[in-house]
Structure 1
Amino acid sequence: MSNLKLKTVTKSFGKAEVIHGIDLDIHDGEFIVFVGPSGCGKSTLLRMIAGLEDITSGDLFIGERRMNEVQAAKRGVAMVFQSYALYPHLTVRQNMGFGLKVRKEKPDTIARKVDDAAKTLQLEKLLDRYPRELSGGQRQRVAIGRAIVGDPDVFLFDEPLSNLDAELRVHMRAEIAALHGRLGNTMIYVTHDQIEAMTLADRIVVLRDGLIEQVGTPKELYAHPDNVFVAQFIGSPKMNVCDAGAVAPALEAAGVAVGDADRIGIRPEHLRMVADGGILTGKVILSEYTGGSSLLHLTVEGAGTFLVLAEGQEAPVPGVSIGLSFDPSNLHRFDKDGLTLRQQALVD
C-alpha cells in the first residue's frame, strides 16, 4: 500500500518554523498536487516526505510504517527534480539504470527495467544518446524514467516542468497524466502553476505560509473555495474581489442578496457584457487580445478594477462604458476574515 499520512508535521530551520502542524491523508494511487505561492512550504513538505529534510515534530507514515527516521533510499519513493540532474558523461541508458547499479542489481535485471521504462516513455531510440544530445522535454522524460526503474511506491515531482517552454509544458503535462494512468502509483506533484494543478490533480492541497488552506478536487476548489485566498489563487484569470458595500446598492437593486458579506467575488468568465442596463457598470481601461477571447480591465465605480473574459474576436475599446450581468448563483460572499459565507439566500 502506498497511502501516506502526515500527522501534525512541523519543520523548523533554527528558530524559524516554516511548516506549522500539517495533517494530511493521501490515498493509495492518488495524484495529489501541492500548490501555493513561492515560500509557502510546498517544496519543503515534499522534501520531508522524500527524506531529504528532517521532520522537526509530528509523524509521517507510508503505508503502515512510520518513516521519520527511515533513510531516503529505503522509503520506497522516487523524486523528479526541477533540474534534470542527469550525469552528462553517461548515456540515457546508463543514467536510467544508475540507481539500480548502485543497488547492485543484476545486469540483465537492469537492462530489462530500463527497456520497460524506455518503452513506457517512448525513449527507445534515445537510449544510446548523451544528455547534451537531447531536448529539454527528452531530458525530463529520462529523469522520470530513472525514477520509474526503481519501482517506487510513491513518485514525488518538484516543479518538474518549470524549465520548459510553454508549448512543451502542455505536452509534458499530458505525458505525466498518461503515465499516472498507466502506472497507477501514488504521485505527489509540487507546482506554483495553478493551471498544472487543475489539469493534473485528483485533489489539490493549497498551501500558504506553511499551512494548508484547503484540500479538495479541482472542481471543489474552483466552485466552493473556503476563503478569499483560495478563491483568487485557483482560477485564471483570478477572481474579482471587492468590498461588498461598494456594490451592495447595485446588487440589491437587481435582486441579488449581499447579506452579511464583507467582500464579494465574481470570476471574470462569469461576467457577461450587456447592451442595456446590467447589474454593474464599468469603463474599459485596457483590452488584452488573446486570440479566441479578450481580457478586459474595467474600473467599476467604488469597487476598483474588474477583469472580464470576453469571448470572440470583437471586444470594447478602452474608454467605453459597458454593463455587466451575471448569474447570482456565481456570486461568492466572504466575511470580514476572508472566509466564505455559505448558502446566502437571494432577495425575492
Structure 2
Amino acid sequence: MPKSSFPLVFDGHNDMLLRLVGNEGADPVHDFMHGRANGHLDLPRMIEGGFGGGLFAVFVPSSGPRRSRNTQPSNSPQDEPLPPPLAQSEALPAVLAMIAILLRLERASNGRFRVCRSVADIRAAMADEAIAAVLHFEGAEAIDTDLHALDVFQQAGLRSIGPVWSRPTQYGHGVPFRYPSSPDTGDGLTQHGRAFVRACNERRIAIDLSHLNEKGFWDVARLSDAPLIASHSNAHAVCAHARNLTDDQMRAIRDSGGIAGLNFANCFLRPDARDMADTGVDVMLRHLDHMLEIMGPDHVGIGSDFDGALIPDAIGDGAGLPVLQAAMQAHGYDAKTLQSISQENWLRTLHATWGA
C-alpha cells in the first residue's frame, strides 16, 4: 500500500464523511474509490501519502452560513459566535447518513477499507494494506440522555466520541473560535455530561476532549478512568487560540497515559491565528516540539482535521503526509519517535481505552 518510505500514519481526526455526504448529486463511493480534485482524502491519496487509518468523524454542521475563515491582519482579535444547540431529531438523520457512507465504503472496497472495532482490527487492516477506519462522533447531539442511542451506535462500530463540538450540548460546553483566549470559556459538564462520561467508561468508548472547554476538560479528568484524549488540538503556548491545549492540560493528558494529536488547521497553528495557506511546516514543528517537551514522545500523535479545515499548502492533502514526516526526520526526530507519533501512540492509547 504505502508509496512513502515513512511509517503509516494513524490519524486521530478527519471530516471526510461530512465532505462526501455534502457532495450533492455525486456518488460518495465512486468519489472515494477513484478520487476527486476537491477535498483532502480519498483512497488514491491515502495510498500515496501512507495514510493507514484513523478516526473518521461524524459531525453535524449547524444550519445557516458556515464559520468564517479568518484572513484578518495578525494580532486582530477573533470571537465568532457559537451556533445554538441542535436537537437530537435534527442531528440524527445526518448522523445516520454519514454512518451509512462509512459502511458503504467498506462494502464497496473489496477489503481495501475496513471499519475497525479493536486495535487488533486496526493492526490487521494496516498489515493487509487496507485503510483502518474507526467510527467517531464529533459532538454527541445524536445521543439521548437515556443513552439508548449510545448502545445502538456502539454496536454499529462507535468507538470514540466527543461530548461536544464547540456549540453546547446537553452534556457540556465547547470552546468558541476565539483568539487570543484561554480555553477557560464557560461552565463545565452538566449532570447529564457526568453520567455520559461514566457511561462511556463502562462501555470502553474513548472520550475526545478537543472541543470541550477547560472546565469540562478538568471534569472529565476527575471522572474518567480512561486515558485522556485530545484528538486534534495544538499547543496554546505557540498559538493562543481557545481551541488549543494549555501546558497543564497536556501534563494531565501525559499523566493519564493519553494522547494529543497535532491539528493541521492553519488558524490553530499560526501564532497570529490567521487561516492562511502559506503556513510553513516549521510552525507545525514548533507545536510538535512543545508538545514533546511537555508530554514526552509517547503521548503525541497526528490529528490532521483533513476535510474539516484549511491546512498548509505545503501539506496540501492526504498525499502530503510524508512532507511532514520528512520535516520531522530532518528536524532530528529519531526513527522511534517518528514511528510513535505516526501511529504507535494512537494504537497504544486506544488499546488501553478499549481493552482490545
TM-score greater than 0.5 by the shorter chain:
no
Q: Output the TM-score relative to the length of structure 2.
A: 0.32
- Of Structure 1 and Structure 2, the greater helix share is in 2
Q: Output the TM-score relative to the length of structure 1.
A: 0.33
Compare CA radii of gyration and give the structure with the larger one.
Answer: 1
- Of Structure 1 and Structure 2, the greater strand share is in 1
